[in-house]
Amino acid sequence: MWWRGAVIYQVYPRSFYDANQDGIGDLLGIINKLDYIASLGVDAIWISPFFKSPMKDFGYDISDYRDVDPIFGTLADFDELIAQAHVRNIKIMIDQVLSHTSDQHQWFIDSREDKHNSKADWYVWADAKEDGTAPNNWLSIFGGSGWTWEPRRQQYYLHNFLSSQPDLNFHNPDVRQAVLDNVEFWLKRGVDGFRLDAINFCFHDAQLRDNPAKPKELRQSIGFDEKNPYAYQYHYFNNTQDENLSFIEDIRTLLDKYPGSVTLGEISSEDSLKTMAEYTQGDNRLHMGYSFDLLTDDFSALYIKQVVQSLETRVADGWPCWAISNHDVQRVVTRWGKSQNAEHNTDLAKMLFAMISSLRGSVCSYQGEELGLTEADIAFENIQDPYGITFWPQFKGRDGCRTPHPWQHKQVNAGFSEAKPWLPVSKEHVEKSVDLQENQNDSVLNSYRHFNQWRKQHSTLLYGDIEFVDTPEPILAFIREYNDKRLLVCFNFSDQQQAVSFDLLQDDLIAITDHKLASADLIEGRLTLPAFGCFYATL
């Protein structure tokens, strides 16, 4: 099971490398940089959507699930990407956006024409209330009602996201089979797995019951704060329905026909950790799941401990995947470093990757994390994200984490493209370019590479159980155990030196320092951790 303990490197293709010099990254760009990715020591690449799309949500609105959008290349390019990655022993995982399509998908074009065509029941349609308003109170994540009126059918259609992203009706068995057929198309082309976008959104409540209101004091939820009306409801009926479990089992049955292929589900529900546990339970559901619980602003040893322990008490034989950055949230060194004015502190960037890679589970690592990239500041006139345009200026959208990857500090647009990039290159990122960090032994990049290789030598970190140790804030400590081997792991979440004593330090510890991170001193049972320092020791 190659995916257990794996590091999965997320590539956002629009912003990785532009091989045809049109200002947008592409599949040939990923092929061009495969040696770089291999040098990172990661096990797999997750590629964000590259399918045909009108790009209203930059590929998460798909109009053809079985073809590559011309801005990214061709199916032949994708086949070459798989072949070249496999030569380098890198697995390829791709996004599958199953819960909704683009409104330009032929299925929707047919479905909206009338109530009697062959695709009439393939989307979630409902009549208006007597007063002409929407069928219920469900909201869109991107703002406003989750329903849009379609004059051809004289009905509303459901969209949990943009109005250009209509939701499929998974209560229809023909829809479920068509979706599975699309998934199998890529399995036959040799992909090694799928990141399943918003996988708990596939089914809706067939009775279309209203979501209950959420009290004001509880509106600060994972991923959505009180700036977004979406947080005003408990989302009990527009997602995470019991029927979804059966569909997930159908996906697993399909993947079991292709040995070695895996699923990683993105889960955002009222209790995402509970849903993660349910969706990864046993050997007939998802292989892995991840939530937004570590993609928030909360940065403390206690919070990390609570999240992981909460999952561990429920997950049983399931397997988590942890992420602290991706294409949907502010970059982690800014999000977690800003409170201590430490977003440019290289030891923080190194420590955060070591921390997430030392928890029980697999890891998703977003492009640029290996460089310690900060959140880019995008002027309003350059904003592309519809989410940011809607909620500006309280929320600036997701463009700040999606800017082009900096390759060469002296080249135009940091070597990403000779053309004007679809988003501007951050000036701050130029000074963190790959070429500059390649030549610095202690750079974030070289630390990332070294830690990945070092971690692979410790099966305890890859596969072991986890048990937390009581320590004062800001120290996070836990024990990983596997095949009678025990490893003590400690992290300092502070920009100040911290000293800690606990019972374990009375045992015979053998400190490990060849990870090359900022290391602690252990003197007479007292552990002193430098700012954003780490400590590993065998027990």
Domain identity same for 194 and 254:
yes
Q: What is the pLDDT of residues 285-343, one digit of tens each?
A: 999 999 999 999 999 999 999 999 999 999 988 999 999 999 999 999 999 999 899 99
Domain count for the chain, please give it: 2
Domain annotation covers residue 506 = yes
Which DSSP string do the residues of 342-383 spell out, in sequence order? -TT-HHHHHHHHHHHHHSSSEEEEETTGGGTPPPP---GGG-
Domain annotation covers residue 363 = yes
pLDDT band at 393 (very low <50, low <70, confident <90, very high): confident
pTM for the predicted model, two decimal places: 0.96
Domain annotation covers residue 128 = no
Sign of the torsion formed by the C-alpha atoms of 281, 286, 287 and 293: negative
Domain annotation covers residue 114 = no
pLDDT at 213: 97
Domain identity same for 269 and 215:
yes
| Alpha-carbon gap, residue 254 to 239, rounded angstroms | 23
Q: What is the pLDDT of residues 421-467, one digit of tens each?
A: 999 999 999 999 999 999 999 999 999 999 999 999 999 999 999 99
| Alpha-carbon gap, residue 401 to 330, rounded angstroms | 6
pLDDT over 70 at 57, yes or no: yes
Q: Which of 417, 437, 455 is the last residue of a domain?
A: 455
The single residue of 266, 312, 328, 399 carrying the catalytic annotation is 266
Q: Return the DSSP state at 537.
A: E
Q: What is the pLDDT of residues 231-250, one digit of tens each?
A: 999 999 999 999 999 999 99
Domain identity same for 205 and 252:
yes
Domain annotation covers residue 186 = yes
| Alpha-carbon gap, residue 14 to 30, rounded angstroms | 10
The single residue of 197, 312, 343, 347 carrying the catalytic annotation is 197
Domain identity same for 206 and 301:
yes
Residue 460 Cα distances to 359, 455, 508, 527, angstroms: 10, 9, 18, 22
pLDDT over 60 at 69, yes or no: yes
Q: Which residues of 150-168 are buried (b: 16+ CB within 10 A; e: fewer)?
A: beebebbbbbbbbbbbbbb
Q: Which of 455, 483, 508 is the last residue of a domain?
A: 455
18-22, 492-496, 520-524: range with lowest mean pLDDT: 520-524
Domain identity same for 47 and 92:
yes
Structure tokens that stand for 137 in this block: 């109170």
Residue 302 Cα distances to 25, 311, 351, angstroms: 39, 14, 16
pLDDT at 392: 86
Domain identity same for 507 and 527:
yes
pLDDT over 70 at 494, yes or no: yes
* CATH number of the domain that residue 97 is part of: 3.20.20.80
Domain identity same for 411 and 506:
no
pLDDT at 144: 93
Q: What is the pLDDT of residues 205-225, one digit of tens each?
A: 999 999 999 999 888 755 555
| Alpha-carbon gap, residue 184 to 207, rounded angstroms | 31
pLDDT over 80 at 74, yes or no: yes
**Catalytic annotation present for 467:** no
**Catalytic annotation present for 266:** yes
High-pLDDT (> 90) share of the chain, %:
90
Provide the domain limits for residue 419.
7-103+171-455
Domain identity same for 278 and 181:
yes
Domain annotation covers residue 242 = yes
Domain identity same for 437 and 516:
no
* CATH number of the domain that residue 510 is part of: 2.60.40.1180
Q: Which of 351, 348, 283 is nearest to 318 (CA)?
A: 283
Domain annotation covers residue 429 = yes
Q: Which of 399, 426, 455 is the last residue of a domain?
A: 455
Domain identity same for 299 and 360:
yes
pLDDT at 502: 75
Domain identity same for 348 and 229:
yes
Domain identity same for 444 and 502:
no
Domain annotation covers residue 108 = no
